[in-house]
Amino acid sequence: MGETALMSEVLELEDVSVVRGGRALVDQVSWSVKEGERWVILGPNGAGKTTLLNVASSYLFPSKGTATILGERLGKVDVFELRPRIGMAGMAMADKLPKAQTVLQTVLTAAYGMTAGWREDYEDIDEQRARAFLDRLGMSDYLDRKFGTLSEGERKRTLIARALMTDPELLLLDEPAAGLDLGGREDLVRRLGRLARDPIAPSMLMVTHHVEEIAPGFTHVLMIRQGKVLAAGPLELELTSRNLSLCFGLPLVVEQRGDRWTAQGLPLG
Ligand SMILES: Nc1ncnc2c1ncn2[C@@H]1O[C@H](COP(=O)(O)OP(=O)(O)OP(=O)(O)O)[C@@H](O)[C@H]1O
Ligand SMILES: [Mg+2]
């Protein structure tokens, strides 16, 4: 492995640790994501999920170990060439985007790797793509709305459209359904499911707090606790009551109903 990462490898972490203030936020994580897999990342608050996504997005370098993203080893590749191949939709991005820009502009600026600046010479083709992605996320009625006036759910859908704009090979989603109402969550799960099952859609890694948010089409789960991998593998094998209980530190029962998942605490007594 390592130097000779196969083309079919989307992400290869070997013994990756991220240490801050003497503490390992990510602790000796080895994890391999292959083409065609769609991963859900589960773990309690503070487990290191966002930190791990930041490594996968090439914005954070491991303190120890090696990270190979889309066949390129971090530390040996020009990240400015790598980053356009990765789409990231998380709320940290939302804070960097100009609130006065319209929704359409917000998505369009991604095509040029910028967070700000409206240019007059965007290609027609880019605008068509931006409109198509926004349509796919159900945002066609909001094209001229200012980004800063959007509700949380609308903002999240805009960020996903934006992340798709560069035609990424890897799409990273950090809690895309957090803060959405039940209808908004179900709508997003349906849209993510469509994306996850689209054979030409990018590889996807999604952090979530709730198994109810796992869209059909997702194939694998990574569970982390205190920076360490607790389970990694196909959903059907690894998303068990036992693993989930160990991950969250309380007795939980997980069930699969059709192509969706639910989890709840064991009743007392
Ligand atoms: N730069 C930093 N310096 C020190 N500690 C940090 C730094 N960044 C994050 N942490 C800590 O690292 C731990 C993991 O953070 P991270 O954001 O990855 O967790 P998370 O799993 O995404 O949690 P959540 O579910 O709450 O989003 C947390 O305890 C956090 O306080
Ligand atoms: Mg987080």
Q: 209 C-alpha vs ligand 2 centroid, how far in Å? A: 9
Residue 131 CA to ligand 1 center (angstroms) comes to: 35
- Give pLDDT tens digits for 173-219: 999 998 888 999 999 999 999 999 988 889 999 999 999 999 999 99
- Segment 31-54 mean pLDDT: 96
* Number of domains, the chain: 1
Q: How far apart are CA 17 and CA 63, in angstroms?
A: 6
Q: Which ligand is nearest to the CA of 173?
A: 2
- 227 CB within 6 A, ligand 1: no
Q: Which atom of ligand 1 is nearest to the CA of 44?
A: 25
Q: Which domain CATH number covers 241?
A: 3.40.50.300
Calculate the alpha carbon distances from 236 to 213, 218, 260 in Å: 16, 11, 11
C-beta of 156 in contact with ligand 1 (< 6 A): no
Q: Is 45 a pocket residue for ligand 1 (Cβ < 6 Å)?
A: yes
Pairing between β-strand 252-257 and β-strand 72-73 as defined by DSSP bridges: unpaired
Instruction: Say what the pLDDT of residue 116 is.
Output: 52
Q: What's the CA angle centered on 183, arms 103 and 170, to 5 degrees? A: 55
Atom of ligand 1 nearest to the CA of 49: 21
Cite the DSSP H helix spans in 37-151: 49-56, 79-82, 91-96, 103-108, 124-136
**Residue 49 CA to ligand 2 centre (angstroms):** 5
Q: Which of 51, 174, 226 to mutate to test the pocket of ligand 1 (most atoms within 8 A of CB)?
A: 51
Q: Which residues contact 156 (CB under 8 A, 6 or more apart)?
A: 89, 91, 176, 177, 179, 180, 188
| pLDDT score for 199 | 85
pLDDT in tens, 71-93: 999 999 999 899 989 999 987 77
Percent of residues, the chain, with pLDDT higher than 90: 79
Q: Is the pLDDT of residue 267 over 90?
A: no
CA of 23 from ligand 2 middle (Å) equals 17
Tokens of 68: 């190979």
Q: What pLDDT, in 10s, does the model give residues 101-130? A: 999 999 998 876 555 555 556 678 889 999
**What CA–CA distance (Å, rounded) separates 189 from 169?**
21
Of all protein residues, the one whose alpha carbon is nearest to atom 26 of ligand 1 is 45
Q: 149 alpha carbon to ligand 2 midpoint, in Å?
A: 24
Q: What is the extent of the structural domain holding 134?
A: 3-265
Query: Ligand 1 atom 6: the closest Cα is on which residue?
Result: 20
The token pair at 90 is 């998380």
pTM over 0.85: yes
Q: What percent of the chain has pLDDT over 70?
A: 93
Place of tokens 């994501």: 33
Which whole-number Å values give the CA distances from 259 to 16, 43, 178, 214, in the listed order? 33, 21, 21, 9
47 in contact with ligand 1, CB cutoff 6 A:
yes
Answer whether 22 contacts ligand 1 (Cβ < 6 A): no
Q: Is 4 in the pocket of ligand 1 (CB under 6 A)?
A: no
Please state at what angle helix 124-136 crosses helix 182-197, rounded to 10 degrees: 120
Least confident range of 36-40, 60-64, 115-119, 151-155: 115-119
What is the pLDDT at residue 4? 47
What distance in Å separates the CA atoms of residue 4 and residue 11, rounded to the nearest whole number? 13
